[in-house]
């Protein structure tokens, strides 16, 4: 099923990658997947099966996808040991069991591990304006939780961030998402971001997005591959 609403198709069409990011990593691409009428809810038997597959995958920590992301983090000044790329952190946890969060999050986390591709999922109703990947100037707002309390932080200048008009939605490319756009069991309109560097081909990236849509029950959706010229 496709048939994304005109409103969400327009939002998807407005997503962008700033040239400063592509200058840093010309091989970078992002597959943006937008879905509506998503059947969310708490973790269930179906999402548990996906997590079990991820736990059995036995991904080597020297996997070329992981090494590429560690290099990318170092290139914009992040310590890849202290703030690991999301897929690196998930792969390290997978064999001992990934966290059970909600049905949709569990599924995309499992798919991220199985393909060794960073993935993020967010509630579209929390967005203000279009999605774009940029390098921070340090003034942008990032709402998060620290020591159990809501706080507003700011990215480091030069940090790679996903953002909208209201501020940062994800810091350090794919390290940590904000609270404002966080998925919940009540989410019905979602955006998923799959990050790719050189070792991942465009066809493989598209297949990952298709796998997610099938796992979600084929809701109305649209996909767009963002890349440099």
Give me the percent of the chain exceeding a pLDDT of 70.
99
Residues 6+ positions from 185 with CB-CB distance below 8 Å: 40, 41, 42, 102, 103
Tell me the CB-side half-sphere exposure of residue 227, using CA atoms within 13 A.
Answer: 15
Q: What digits encode the pLDDT tens for the residues 88-112?
A: 999 999 999 999 999 999 999 999 9
Sheet strands side by side (includes 16-17):
16-17, 132-135, 160-164, 167-171, 176-177
Q: How far apart are CA 80 and CA 73, in angstroms?
A: 6
Nearest to 86 by CA among 55, 111, 57, 52: 111
Q: What digits encode the pLDDT tens for the residues 147-192?
A: 899 999 999 999 999 999 999 999 999 999 999 999 999 999 999 9
Structure tokens at 101: 């969060």
Inter-residue contact 107 to 204 (CB < 8 Å): no
List the domains of the chain with CATH numbers: 6-134+185-226 (3.50.40)
Q: How far apart are CA 192 and CA 21, in angstroms?
A: 19
Q: What digits encode the pLDDT tens for the residues 41-86?
A: 999 999 999 999 999 999 999 999 999 999 999 999 998 788 999 9
* The Cα angle at residue 156 between residues 121 and 163, in degrees rounded to 5: 35
Q: How far apart are CA 11 and CA 228, in angstroms?
A: 19
pLDDT at residue 2, as a whole number: 67
pLDDT at 1 over 60: no
Whole-prediction pTM: 0.96
């Amino acid at each position: 099923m496709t048939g994304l609403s005109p409103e969400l198709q327009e939002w998807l069409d407005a997503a962008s990658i700033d040239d400063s990011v592509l200058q840093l990593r010309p091989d970078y691409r992002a597959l943006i997947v937008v879905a509506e009428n998503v059947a969310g809810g708490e973790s269930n038997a179906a999402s548990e099966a996906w997590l079990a597959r991820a736990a059995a995958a036995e991904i080597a920590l020297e996997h070329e996808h992981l090494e590429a992301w560690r290099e990318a983090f170092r290139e914009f000044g992040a310590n890849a040991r202290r703030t690991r790329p999301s897929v690196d952190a998930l792969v390290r946890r997978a064999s001992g069991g990934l966290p059970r969060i909600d049905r949709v999050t569990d599924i995309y986390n499992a798919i991220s591990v199985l393909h060794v591709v960073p993935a993020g999922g967010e509630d579209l109703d929390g967005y203000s304006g279009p999605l774009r990947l940029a390098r921070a100037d340090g003034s942008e707002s990032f709402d998060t939780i620290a020591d159990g309390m809501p706080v507003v932080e700011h990215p480091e200048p030069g940090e790679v961030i996903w953002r909208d008009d209201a501020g940062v939605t994800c810091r350090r490319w794919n390290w940590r998402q904000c609270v404002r756009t966080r998925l919940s069991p009540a989410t019905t309109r979602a955006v998923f971001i799959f990050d790719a560097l050189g070792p991942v081909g465009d066809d493989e990236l598209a297949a990952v997005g298709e796998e997610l849509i099938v796992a979600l029950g084929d809701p109305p959706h649209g996909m767009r591959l963002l890349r440099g010229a």
